[in-house]
Amino acid sequence: MDRQRSILELKQVHKSFRNKDAELKVLEEISFTVYAGEIIALLGPSGCGKSTLLNIVSGLIEPDQGHLQCEAGLRLAYVFQEPRLLPWKTIEENIRFVQDNFLPASQGKDVREDLLRKTGLRAYADAYPDQLSGGMKQRLEIARALSIQPQLLLMDEPFKSADLALKYQLQELILAEHAREQLAVLYITHDPNEAVRIADRIFLFSDKPTKIQEELVLQIPQQKRRGDPQVQAVSEKILDFLLQGGDQQNK
């Protein structure tokens, strides 16, 4: 991780939604920096605004107050909570069409082949999305996002429809890309064990109006975390936090 190089900075971001007469305050004063090559996991109660935050970071929605600063030319990819595949394109075409804007054709092909292989989708390259299971669609989403060789990868509960073995395989893929490409990852999960396995930093969100209640930093390299009592303690701390519903008053 390159702590010297900030690629994204959020300053005092606020976001509310207006439903009929009522105003729903969702995000309140969210500020943080993402550095090149780090993995940040976001955890918090359902409905606290995690997806809203990724939508703001990706530029899909505007904050009401505050601002975002991105490194110039930052290449960003987003794995949405629900798959957004093009049903009329094959698996390979679903990847190729996003690459066209970013990589020369021959390089794009090499990257695509590699990712199809690593996600176990090589044999399905010519199939269509409705021929895939939920877990395979999710893998395809991850392969597609990585296929543009992003500097920042946003993912919204990316491993949720994967079985345990596949979940590990996908996490290994993310870790390998992260190591090789200095890829930064900002992703949402509900699983404390998974967060302490792969993240460098973990942000715990309170319930609405949502703030970053706590930031946890994991110093131990990912490869050495298994069975480490300190890492286990962080996981349990997150679990306790989530069981309290991210409630600030009950802390």
Ligand X SMILES: Nc1ncnc2c1ncn2[C@@H]1O[C@H](COP(=O)(O)OP(=O)(O)O)[C@@H](O)[C@H]1O
For Mg ion, the binding residues (CB under 5 A) are 51
CB 156 to Mg ion: min, Å: 6
CA R_g for the chain: 18
Q: Which amino acid is at 57?
A: V
* Interaction partner, residue 47 (ligand X, Mg ion, none; CB < 5-8 Å by kind): ligand X
In the complex with Mg ion, the residue whose CB is nearer, 30 or 111, is 30
Is 245 a binding residue for ligand X by CB under 6 A? The answer is: no
Q: Which residues within the stretch 27-86 sit at the binding site for ligand X (CB under 6 A)? A: 46-52
Q: Binding ligand X by CB under 6 A: which of 17, 86, 117, 179?
A: 17
CB 223 to ligand X: min, Å: 30
The 3-state secondary structure of 195-236 reads HHHHCCEEEEECCCCECEEEEEECCCCHHHCCCCHHHHHHHH
Which are the contacts of 44, defined by CB distance < 8 A and separation ≥ 6? 50, 204, 205, 206, 207, 210, 213, 242, 246
In the complex with ligand X, the residue whose CB is nearer, 17 or 97, is 17
In the complex with Mg ion, the residue whose CB is nearer, 51 or 58, is 51
User: Within its chain, how far is the Cα of 107 from the centroid?
Assistant: 25
How many CB atoms are closer than 10 A to CB 19? 7
CB 204 to ligand X: min, Å: 12
- Cα–Cα distance, 75 to 151 (Å, whole number): 5
- Cα–Cα distance, 132 to 155 (Å, whole number): 20
CB-CB contact of 180 with 115 (8 Å): no
Q: Which residues within the stretch 186-215 sit at the binding site for ligand X (CB under 6 A)? A: none
CB 56 to Mg ion: min, Å: 13
In the complex with ligand X, the residue whose CB is nearer, 49 or 63, is 49
In the complex with Mg ion, the residue whose CB is nearer, 156 or 200, is 156
* DSSP conformation class of 210: B
How many CB atoms are closer than 10 A to CB 180? 9
CB 19 to ligand X: min, Å: 5
In the complex with ligand X, the residue whose CB is nearer, 230 or 248, is 248
- Cα–Cα distance, 183 to 166 (Å, whole number): 21
CB 174 to ligand X: min, Å: 20
- Cα–Cα distance, 11 to 57 (Å, whole number): 12
Q: Binding ligand X by CB under 6 A: which of 7, 26, 196, 238?
A: 26
Residues lying near ligand X in the complex (CB under 6 A) are found at: 17, 19, 24, 26, 46-52
